[in-house]
Structure 1
């Protein structure tokens, strides 16, 4: 439960039809296993204590009496444990029989949730046995206790207000207006579904889509436990497809046609942050609901959840290529609109032979091709100075010529040296003035050349640099339109790689691959033995770490302690804990102190769910203090 994580499970027990004793034994075995695994919430299939396919046997008193007896044994198995279980079983009340999910914890029944929508078509005929459930809870007697029974029950954890559970049963998830919608708007963060959905061809695909889609639209966790082998009888076969989803993402799925228990570590803080961020998600309204409190002790888990070390870059090659093509199109379409709106026919870009300017040039080429503007009206300016290496210079020249743009060379060494004399800067003092003077001179050249050509300066800086403030204010920080402004550095690399792999031009692919192989550097310090002397990641830290920090902090608002913990899991075997902590501190310091640069950044297309534009996603004061965040890291 620490940091909002909770271990959940969807369990399919072996069952025998109409044999509650055998079924109880298998259910208790799974409960015992779940407790050993520190599971806090476990969901079982629909009517699993009797089996779903009992048919007219549901009308037999012998079966119903035995079921109640075996329920008592299950309650005993949960005594002394805070595992919350939802168990499918028939429940008799008021002279009628109901298909229910019974909520159990620590030897007690917390509540009984009846099924609302009873299918009575095709292979289903539940109205023959069961009564549709009541929404408004009523109190029913169990032993010497009064237990709430109704669809509108919220099971709320007193020790963690973020955990609020509601239940529905099988068909309830398939109807146009499922109970889960009102459960979520009433405040439920986790929906459980006890199901007995038989198998037909292609049904698994629809089922998976249904559950993941519902978790996305309701911004919730969803645990779906399905009946499996053992239920199959007469004309029906059950495959036991269990699913655990979280806000559209599938955390775990069982194999079909074999009974299995799946586990997942759900992130409740992520769900709450997303709901809080979305102004269109309604405020929780408990009207017509009964809130059932329960306790659950806080426990730190060894996370079983996969934490992606590169959240901006899909692991799957096919999906990654699709994403790259989409992002390149968004970048190009944004620039196309700006060029068309201003009537601009000339683009000016500083080309360094590095990753960012390479990507920007590729985007400009796409936009010009869309507008049918000749590529020779793209003016790529290389501006060698004290730190330029032959490798990057040659790559810049080759890339420009291969793409058909105009190459312009302006050596700024003399201009910068004259500027040094004007301001009294010694050329052998390689300080911040030495570096920034070069960056600002380059920007001046680009801006004035754009004026001369009646053109537009296209910025090359990426989102990772903006997050860290790794840009010279009013130098490379400034342009007339920044096409890379919401593309993180880790993604820049994959976009260039994708272009190299798909362009179909050997010469272009060759130079792009060499750009990819070149260390990231602003090249503002003199080379050593002809090689790049100033490597960015040696100074500010690995970009893959900073991009990970950026995503978790801005997308989900996680606190520093949790971001650190996630990074340790994500980068196990790649970075030591001390290294991760060091660069996380650097990230927070720079992110806060450099906001003034982002507050006046140029327009640029948003391509993903995280962006730092002051007009879009990040309205952050330039003078905010980072102490609170850094103190938490110091206390780790």
Structure 2
């Protein structure tokens, strides 16, 4: 007959410091879980405050308001008769902890602090919290009066314990703990815990989801058990997009999976599981032997049952365990189409801006940004068609429709026309091809497009310089120096930024849009150009936000090919085959500016350099050794050395540009974002002289005997 239990986990779109909104979404998720018959509900990490509060976690107000909201949650009539696992920060003995608070009804059962904190990459949890470094140790926590008066409790257990009900045992681990070599669920499983909860704040990166899903399924594929994974979803105030994908796993098999990308603020995932399947799975001699030697967890006994009573009178043949199902993954092209698009929508609706403004150059980078906005409009229209009340209200507000309006966009193009503004800012160096591509793309996606030339501004700036200095700079093809040539290019790029912000502020006024809000300026520098520093500081890449700032040129091309066929947008084919060019130098019969020629390396090579530098943790010498083995004999040792030296030189001299990078959607592990992710100095010796000497020694020794190479090394 089995012990059938219906359990619930969820994806919540929480927003940092939106205490009341976060509270309401938590209550809604609990209400939905109960309506589906769930007796357990698990929510995301730090769901009361929002995960991305950063240094606000140091403020006492954050902890006060967390308890105020928590009290309102457990006192709500919709939140009774269900075991709740809720995430929030807690101060215990003047120490800040990232905690799970488990309760039933209006009684707190356990406060479980996080043991292993996320403290690399985008995460700085040890800046705000202290890990609970006392496994299986439990103390007493004195509840704040606002909560104690409600629950009738003075002291509650605080520490690493598990919950024991009448029919099972439940234990919690939090996000990073799953990723550690000796995860808590291993010891808990050996001590008889059958249901594991994991509450997470895990962000999206291209090709990352399979790693996370592998760890979640492996957690119970050896030990057996039921695993409930909950995650944040959406942009909660920074560069990260938390990509949901709440999941329920039984003995390593998926029984229920939530969506990865969605505009739904609350998504509840439920499954009915049979506890007897866990017990049968664990009837392995080696499991039993190890269990007898495993340390014991303190059990918090609760006189409730998660499963219905067992007996013929309560048997319902219609209630059966949820069947297993395959995991669903998106392709990288789909991830680009959906992830940055959902992030943009959250940013737009929460910033209360009037829409977006994008300098549209006719190249593939700004094209990708425009298509991502169009993808966002498609997603919004799909949610409107499904009757998503929050999305409908947000769309009407962003499109500046009256509150009592019944307006709904009939197509993504109609919505795009209301919120997306593009502008081609040409000069004498621009081509008719890029101008026409920009115009055609704007037309097919429905954007409000402006086409203009800025030659008068460029000429006025040059004349000002000539009048002051008596010197007239020239382009390289006209006999000018490299310094002159670069300065003349930068004039155009920086003036475009000035024009972009002027139009972003005034176009809503031109279109008689009420409200007075301006447009968010979108940047479109890809991760490879940012890494190499191949952009002008404070040019039109300097913007409010950048949806492609952590995506490679190679991935953007693949995305545009996908969008061409899937959306469909045939005009995108011309962007795919266009040669990347900044169009900042004069075009002649014998010369057309090329990005890759200017950089001295291809975009594909830049992706490899970026990955080895950040993910592979390579300096110049170790990178050369890696690429020497990978790229020869296609390239000679001298060519490999030259490319590595050139990359590190330009990376170093342009490192200061990373300090002012436009805040970008984080999608790639080798993002050079100085502000949150890549904490390296911005003033570095660009010559890397010692590393260069070692590289040169390897190059000069190519083909020499081992003895000769050893002799060379000894002289260094």
Greater Rg over alpha carbons, structure:
1
TM-score w.r.t. structure 2 length? 0.43
TM-score w.r.t. structure 1 length? 0.48
